[in-house]
Amino acid sequence: MAAGGTFEACATDLRCGRVTPVPAFLLAFLVSQWALAVVAGERWVVQDQRQQTLLYSEFELDLERIWAELGEVDFELSAATGIRATDGRVEIVLFASRQSYLEYLTARVPQAAARRAIFLKNGSISQVYAYNSRSLVMDLRHEMTHVRVHQHMPYAPLWLDEGLAEYFEEEEAARPRSSRREAVRWKARLGSSPSLSSLEKIPSAEAMGAEEYRSSWAWICFLINDGAGSRQTLRNYVEEIHRGAAPGKFSEYAQAENTGLLSRANSYFRKMTFPLTFDSSGE
């Protein structure tokens, strides 16, 4: 989807969804216009910057909390998968209300109308748009995961991209209490575990529903938390794509690189435990 330097868009809806890429020529125009508009705008009551990330907001917010949450995503993502931020510019644009968000975006990106937040990428510039709601922190964690995935990898399989975003949208302490956990466990115990090969066949984001997002999340839970071996296989796969190789489908890659890994997934899904802890103290 991101191959050849084209532009991509990804967004969350009430659960999560991914937007069909807008034609590259269109987004090239749009994003360059947006970049100017964001910088020149006088509507932002908050403008702040940490490293390469700029934040513009129409409303006052707890900046320290936001930066801490996004720093946590970066730390955990790097520790678990090796995915790291690049020095590419990131712009986070926050609106005071859904109405304001829609007024700003829908004429330019109609897909935003059905979404709660959206991620756009144009070359090295990444933009995240969201609005004030109870799930703002979760939305920002989700979209920033996409930002980092697409900064680090020239392309990412859909299930991997969304699975990581779903995983890291929740703070670490909340993951064992995730409502998705019981659903996956219950179904696995009835003999219906999330199927990686089915996820790998999903042709586009439009074909992903709540079940596919949950299954992608469950596979990432397995790969990060089953043990050091599963985590290393995930890291190696990410690294292969990062350095421009074409490791193929993860299912085939894992079968060749870590015999027995995939067959352990079913027993993991019946438990869905989260033993890995990220200790960022001192960071």
Residues that bind Zn ion (CB under 5 A): 10, 16, 165
CB of 140 to Zn ion, least distance (A): 12
| Nearest residue (CB) to Zn ion, 27 versus 118 | 118
- Bridge-partner residues for 55, per DSSP? 48, 92
The residues near 75 (Cβ < 8 Å, ≥ 6 apart) are 278, 280, 283
How many residues would you count in the chain? 283
- Residues 108, 114, 115, 116, CA torsion sign: positive
The contacts of residue 161 (CB under 8 Å, 6+ apart) are 10, 18, 146, 149, 150
> In the bound complex, which residue of the shown chain has the CB atom lying closest to Zn ion?
165
Smallest distance from Zn ion to CB 135, Å: 13
Give the shortest CB-12-to-Zn ion separation in angstroms.
Answer: 5
Q: Count CA atoms closer than 13 A to 198's CA, side-chain side.
A: 14
Q: Which runs of consecutive H residues, i.e. helices, occur in 128-227?
A: 136-152, 158-169, 179-189, 196-200, 210-225
Residue 155: what are its φ and ψ, rounded to 5°? -155, 160
User: Closer to Zn ion at the Cβ: 112 or 165?
Assistant: 165
Name the residue nearer to Zn ion (CB basis): 56 or 213: 213
Q: How many C-beta neighbours within 10 Å does residue 84 have? A: 12
Query: What gap in Å lies between CA 165 and CA 21, rounded to an integer?
Result: 18
Instruction: For the CB of residue 39, give the shortest distance to Zn ion in the complex, in Å.
Output: 26
Whose Cβ is closer to Zn ion: residue 80's or residue 165's?
A: 165
What one-letter code names the amino acid at 254? A
Of the pair 15, 43, the CB lying nearest Zn ion is at 15
Q: Which SS3 state, helix, strand or coil, does residue 196 take?
A: helix
Least distance between Zn ion and beta carbon 54 (Å): 21
* Smallest separation, CB 82 to Zn ion (Å): 20
In angstroms, the CA 246 to CA 255 distance is 16
At closest approach, how far in Å is the CB of 145 from Zn ion? 8
* Closer by beta carbon to Zn ion, 10 or else 220: 10
